[in-house]
Structure 1
Amino acid sequence: MRPLYIGLMSGTSLDSVDAVAFEFDASGCAMLASHSEPFPLPLRQQTLALMHPGADEIERLGRLDLELAELFASAANNLIDRNKLDRQRIRAIGSHGQTVRHRPEARFTLQIGDPNLIAERTGLCVVADFRRRDMAADGQGAPLVPAFHEALFRTPGASRIIVNIGGMANITLLPGDTELPATGYDTGPGNVLLDYWIHRHQALGYDHGGAWAATGTVLPELLQHLLQLPFFSAPAPKSTGREQFNPDWLQQRLLESGFGQRAPQDIQATLLELTAVSISNEIMQVTDAGCDIFLCGGGCHNSLLTKRLETLLQPYTLSTTATLGLDPDWVEACAFAWLAGRRLDDLSGNMPAVTGAVNERVLGAVYSP
């Protein structure tokens, strides 16, 4: 019987903690169960506040480190109990934690959600702190999921691109020629600005299907102003987060461009176009037509966004990772279950071609039950 791993992932959007049960060995892999633990609103608000510099950050960090750990442990325990999983089969929990700072230019990243407490509450081995070892080896510490994408989705003779659209968006390039390395990097904002803008003006958590954006008109001048950010033209390796794409950045760009008084739905339409164009521009620059594109992450449910990507990426074929056998909503959580297994087997978890690290490294710290 194959060993079982739990993967925990809380992304930039802060909508829930995703928990999966994932089994794998040399013969194959499968996701057995999944569970989403909603973020309590007060905890979400406190975490968002911590993501922006302010007073008493050390005090807030210490408290939230424990509160988030309780939430992660609850997600793991609920996944196990509701699916009647055998705890004796579970080799480890791979917990990504919640990123509250990501500063690759300063070789600094921080994810919180104390793994010591998760181990105590679940009685299971926990593997966490995946990013900092790569960063210590001169890498960006992100994105890490391309290594999982390669292990699970790469097939000789089939050129593929995996597009993950979470709060931020990233791409993984999987050449059909196995002599060529897989690569990947962040392309810019995914849902993060869209979610912020609709919450501000409609008090909604997200724009379902892009319906609100569809009522607006893209503002080309504003779009071009947003795309002037050096990040978009910077070469890989590159990674980003809320430190760059946040409400303050957006408000400043609206003020500079003189579009701050335009209809909110027009801004939303333009932000959706920013996500679509920043993703498609990168793909068109790095590969030729003839490969298949597979979407994952919450953004793949935004039908307006996927339609724009289909239009911008013609003649590429777009589908989701469900076509490859893994539900697009759970790919990232599965990736950290997989990374936990790599750590316990003393196998590398990073891809230097992606992060820029000097070499492969075993990622993560182990916390025994």
Structure 2
Amino acid sequence: MEQTSTAIGLMSGTSMDGIDVALLRTDGDTVVERGPAGGFAYDAGFRDRLKQGLVDATAMTQRDQRPGSLSKLENDLTLRHAEAVAAFLQQNGLSSADIDVIGFHGQTVLHRPDDALTVQIGDGPLLARQTGIDVVWDMRANDLENGGQGAPLIPAYHAALARGAADTHGLVAPVVFVNIGGISNVTFIGAGDTLVAFDSGPGNTLIDQWVEAHAGIPYDQGGMIASEGSILPALAERYLSNSFFTATKRRSLDRNDFAPPQGRDADLADGARTLAHVTAAAILKSAGHLPERPATYIVCGGGRLNPVIMGDLASLAKQDGAAVLAAEAVGLNGDSMEAEAWAYLAVRALRQLPLTYPGTTGVRQPVSGGKHAAKPRIG
């Protein structure tokens, strides 16, 4: 059996609300021992800087360009990640010597898979120097260079979790993991660990943008605003009739691929309610591209905390004879799963195991990836 490593995963997702940190002990394959996790929120001013970074990134045509605010933003983002690692270690009575590697996602500022271009800002060598821990970062690029979409990367970890959950919770197969972050994605685990995965549509990003623009708050906590509204069928259909859902080739999404409604399209509550329905219905529409009809959906990511989204998803899935479970119902942590995945993928990368597969990103053959920054050597 391969030796296990203690890894920390760092995730800053498309919602741009903060840094998720998780500890994992793993061999990057079958052994997965989940440890503590935590979250470190960005202040409002830094979130505004990240949003400006998305605007500045639209000028990029090469991955190493850093126009406008991006160079300074990359440096400051990396330092915030280093601070999050230090705080996490202190909270859990650990030191840098206890950690073998950090899996560092960085912040996606541009994702154009059709142009083989994806950009996650984050300085791996700087993070290694600041933390005194080896860092694996930039794990999407090699997939794109080999014909893939560069996303999703988490399916390899989902497969490992599904094996454990099937053993302990007797899940009815086929099992599909659904991650509802800014963008939603699905991972289908079939017989013999067959993996099929793709982005399924807008997740929280439309709702977040809608309530921020019209209520001045970053997200609809607990679906409270949506629960006061009604679904507007014409507005919902405008999203659900998008050619993304019928295209034979699955493609990965950027948060800008679906724009939020205009203010004249709905009032605050009806807009939030309709977008919550779109989030759920998009998952079921995209599931039609899977090789078999799912029997069990396991939901992670921030969207699982919105009972309006979960209610719609459960109702739509029931019509297809499937059950919907939050990650916690099968002993998993739906908040930290992406960060855990980045820890798992870092160990896989060090072992040169595949991170992506033809069935998950469209890559020509299974490929590994990532860059390795070694911690400073003393003496």
Q: 1:134 maps to what in 2? A: 143
Q: Mean alpha-carbon deviation: is it higher for 110-119 or for 127-136? A: 110-119
Alignment pair present for 1:276 and 2:280: yes
What is the alpha-carbon distance in structure 1 between the residues aligned to residue 148 and residue 7 of structure 2? 26
Rate the CA distance shift 1:228–1:158 in 2: closer, same or farther, 3 A: closer
Alignment pair present for 1:24 and 2:26: yes
* TM-score normalised by L of structure 1: 0.92
| Gap regions ≥5 residues in structure 1 | none
Percent of residue pairs bearing the same amino acid type? 33
| Deviation by residue 1:117-136 (Cα, 9 ceiling, x = unmatched) | 11111011000000010000
Q: 1:80 maps to what in 2? A: 89
What is the alpha-carbon distance in structure 2 between the residues aligned to residue 262 and residue 20 of structure 1? 39
Q: 2:100 maps to what in 1? A: 91
| Deviation by residue 1:131-152 (Cα, 9 ceiling, x = unmatched) | 0100000100000001111122
Q: 1:291 maps to what in 2? A: 295
Alignment pair present for 1:250 and 2:260: yes
Alignment pair present for 1:204 and 2:206: no
- Partner AA of 1:143 in structure 2: P
What is the alpha-carbon distance in structure 1 between the residues aligned to residue 30 and residue 210 of structure 2? 45
Which of 320, 323, 334 is equivalent to 1:317? 323
Alignment pair present for 1:232 and 2:245: yes
The Cα of 1:2 is off from its aligned counterpart by 4.1
The Cα of 1:35 is off from its aligned counterpart by 1.7
What is the alpha-carbon distance in structure 1 between the residues aligned to residue 302 and residue 22 of structure 2? 16
What is the alpha-carbon distance in structure 2 between the residues aligned to residue 55 and residue 99 of structure 1? 14
Alignment pair present for 1:193 and 2:197: no
Which of 41, 44, 47 is equivalent to 1:41? 44
Alignment pair present for 1:116 and 2:125: yes
What is the alpha-carbon distance in structure 1 between the residues aligned to residue 289 and residue 132 of structure 2? 48
Rate the CA distance shift 1:153–1:272 in 2: closer, same or farther, 3 A: same
Q: 2:196 maps to what in 1? A: 183
Determine helix, strand or coil for the equivalent of 1:19: strand
What is the alpha-carbon distance in structure 2 between the residues aligned to residue 136 and residue 311 of structure 1? 40
Rate the CA distance shift 1:31–1:45 in 2: closer, same or farther, 3 A: same
RMSD: 2.1
Does the CA-based 8 Å contact 2:113-2:149 persist in structure 1? yes
Q: 1:367 maps to what in 2? A: 373
Alignment: residue pair count: 358
| Deviation by residue 1:250-308 (Cα, 9 ceiling, x = unmatched) | 34xx4xxxx82532221111111111110112224536556211000010010111001
What is the alpha-carbon distance in structure 1 between the residues aligned to residue 161 and residue 21 of structure 2? 19
What is the alpha-carbon distance in structure 2 between the residues aligned to residue 233 and residue 191 of structure 1? 21
| Deviation by residue 1:172-219 (Cα, 9 ceiling, x = unmatched) | 0111x21x7210100111000101111122222211221111211111
Alignment pair present for 1:104 and 2:117: no
Q: Mean alpha-carbon deviation: is it higher for 51-60 or for 202-211? A: 51-60
| Gap regions ≥5 residues in structure 2 | 61-65
| Deviation by residue 1:1-46 (Cα, 9 ceiling, x = unmatched) | 9421000000000111001111113663222111211112211101
What is the alpha-carbon distance in structure 1 between the residues aligned to residue 366 and residue 265 of structure 2? 49
- Partner AA of 1:97 in structure 2: G
What is the alpha-carbon distance in structure 1 between the residues aligned to residue 110 and residue 341 of structure 2? 21
| Deviation by residue 1:236-263 (Cα, 9 ceiling, x = unmatched) | 4311022313xxx334xx4xxxx82532
Once superposed, which parts of structure 1, at least 4 consecutive aligned residues long, lie more than 6 Å away?
54-57
